[in-house]
Structure 1
C-alpha cells in the first residue's frame, strides 16, 4: 500500500505539499497540484482517515449499536439511519451486539478508537455498565427505541405502553375476553411497557382475570414466539386472542397455530408489534401495532447532527405515537354480538 511519502517522491514535492493538496489546507500551484494528483492516481494512494481526523478533529464517521441484526425491525431502521448519514456526508459504522452486554462494551471501545463523531444506540438489555461506558465517550449520543434511565442523552422512541393498549383495545372491541400475551425478554423496558399496556387494556375493559395465567415470554425471536404459542395452546380454557409483543414472535406464533390446526382468525386472533415489512406477507396478513420507523431513524440522525454541529445543547426526548394496522389475523369472537345502537328521533 502506497504512503504519502511515496506520493511525494513520485511527484517530486515535499510530504507537506502532498498533505496540503489532499486536505485543501493551503494553496498549491497548479503545476504542483497536477503532479501530486497524477502521482496519487498512479500509486492508487488512499489518504488516511485517521491522520486527517487528527488535523480536523473530525472523522465524518458515525457509529450505531443494534442488539440483533437478524431482526427485520432493526434492519429497517438501520437503512433509514444509513441513508440519512450518507446524504449528510457521513459514513456509518454498524455494530451488532447480539444482545450480549460484553460484546456491547467491546464495540463501544472499538468505536472510541475509531474517533467517531457521534453515536446512535439501541441498547442491549441487562447491562449495568452501559451508562458509565457511554459517558466516558464524551461525544454526542442519541438513544433510539430504548431509554436508559441513568443516561442524560437525546432519545427517540415509540410510546410502547400505548401500543400495547391499542392492540388490547382492538381485541376487546372484537368481543374477545380471554386475551393472552407473549412478551419479549424479561426486564427489557420496551417489552415491559408493551405488557403494561396489555394489562391496562384488560383492566380498562373490566376483565377480572389472572393475567399471569395468560402470559408467556418469547424472547423477541420467531422461535420464541413459536414455542410460547405451543405452550399456550396446551392450556385450558384456550384464549381466543393473543397480543404478541413483536412481529417476529407473532410470525412464529402463526406457524405454531397452523401446525396445531388452530385457524387464525377463526379460532384465535393474533396482533403483533412493529409492522415490519414481512408482516403484510404472512398468511393471514398480520394485524400489528406500527412503529414509525422512518421518522424514528430520520429524527435520530437529525438530532445527532444538531449536537455534532453545535446547533443545540439541550437534551431532547421525543416519544412518537404508534398506530394500529388492521389486517386479516384478527376477527370477531364467535359469540360476539354487535351492540345495538338506538336511533334518537
Structure 2
C-alpha cells in the first residue's frame, strides 16, 4: 500500500531556508522589502525543493487592484503592440492600468511572467500565448481570475477569446496564388505548437484540396520557421538555393517576411523576383516589392474587443464566455 506524500508548504520552504514564512511570502509575491541576498537564497531553495506556489489559494485572497496583466510573445511585433496599446488606452479611460510582459515565444518565460503578474494581484490576464501552460491558465480561471486569450488559442483552455479567422484568410490567399502559379509555391510556416501557425497551414491545405492539387504540392516546399526574422532569412536561403526556386511564397507572419526580403537583398536577387504573400502588419510594404501582398489584420478592432471583454468582467461582473472572430483584409493582390 503506497502512502501519499503531502505537498510542500510555504512553512517547509521557510524552515529549509532558515527564514520566516513572511519572508518567503514576500519573495513569492514580489511584495515588501527583502534584501537581494536573502531573495536569491529563498529562490534557490524554492527551486531546490521544487516548490510550486498555490496559485488558487493566492488568487482567492486577491483584492481589487484595478490592474490588468498582459503577456505577449514578442513586444517588437507591430501588430501585437498596436493591439496592446488600444487595450491600454481603453482600460485607462475606465481607471484601470495595464502591465505588459514579453515571453519571447518561450513557454518557461511565459509561465514565469504569468506567475509574476499574479503576484502583482492582477484582476484579469490577457494572453497571446505560446500554446503551452494550459494547466496554469486553467488553474487561474478556476481561481476566478478573468482570462482573455488574444490572437491565439491554447488547447484544453475554454476561456473568452478574440481571434482572427486564419483558416479562411489563408485559404483565400493560397487560392489566389494557385490561380497564378499552380502548386509551384513555398510556405514559411510557424511553430506547430502555436494555433495561428496550424490554422494558416490548414487554410493552405484546404485551398490545394479544393483546386485538386494536393497531390502535386511537394513537402520540400514547406520551411518550418519560428515567427522570427532569422527564420525568414533562413527560409529565403533554403528556397533560393533550390535548382528551381518556388515562384511564390506564403509567409505566416510579418517578421519572417522582413527576414525573407533582407536575405533576398543580400543574395543580390531582385525584390520583385518572387511573389510574396505575408500575414501581419508590414510597415512601408510598397517599399519592399510591388509583388508583395499582405493579409492585414486589424489590431485596433482586436484591441477594442479585448478591452471590452476585460471590462465586462472586471467592471460589470459579466462572466459569460465569449468568442469573437474577426476577418483580416487583403491588400495588393
Which bin holds the TM-score, normalised by the shorter protein?
0.7 to 0.9
Tell me how far apart the structure 2 counterparts of residues 237 and 279 of structure 1 sit (CA, whole Å).
26
Tell me how far apart the structure 2 counterparts of residues 95 and 309 of structure 1 sit (CA, whole Å).
23
**C-alpha deviation, 1:124, in angstroms:** 1.8
Tell me how far apart the structure 2 counterparts of residues 90 and 159 of structure 1 sit (CA, whole Å).
29
Q: For structure 1, which segment, 74-83 or 205-214, has the greater mean C-alpha deviation from structure 2 after superposition?
A: 205-214
**C-alpha deviation, 1:283, in angstroms:** 4.4
Partner residue of 1:184 out of 184, 187, 190:
190
Residue number in structure 2 paired with 1:95 = 101
Residue number in structure 2 paired with 1:195 = 201
TM-score, reference length from structure 1? 0.73
Tell me how far apart the structure 2 counterparts of residues 161 and 130 of structure 1 sit (CA, whole Å).
27
Q: Does 1:319 align with 2:325?
A: yes
Count of residues in Structure 1 that have an aligned counterpart in Structure 2: 273
**C-alpha deviation, 1:264, in angstroms:** 3.7
Residue number in structure 1 paired with 2:149 = 143
Mapping of 1:1-345 within 5 angstroms? 57-135=63-141, 137-207=143-213, 208-265=215-272, 267-284=273-290, 286-326=292-332
Tell me how far apart the structure 2 counterparts of residues 195 and 104 of structure 1 sit (CA, whole Å).
25
Quick check: which has more Rg, 1 or 2?
A: 1
Q: Note the residue ranges of structure 1 that are not aligned, 5 or more in a row.
A: 1-55, 328-345
**C-alpha deviation, 1:323, in angstroms:** 1.4
Tell me how far apart the structure 2 counterparts of residues 131 and 63 of structure 1 sit (CA, whole Å).
13
Could you list the per-position Cα deviations for residues 312-339 of structure 1 after superposition, in whole angstroms to 9, with x for gaps in the alignment?
Answer: 2321011111111116xxxxxxxxxxxx
TM-score, reference length from structure 2? 0.75
Tell me how far apart the structure 2 counterparts of residues 84 and 124 of structure 1 sit (CA, whole Å).
25
Q: 2:134, 2:154 within 8 Å by CA — same for their partners in 1?
A: no
Rate the CA distance shift 1:311–1:128 in 2: closer, same or farther, 3 A.
closer
Give the SS at the match of 1:277: coil
Q: 1:166, 1:324 within 8 Å by CA — same for their partners in 2?
A: no
Tell me how far apart the structure 2 counterparts of residues 313 and 137 of structure 1 sit (CA, whole Å).
13
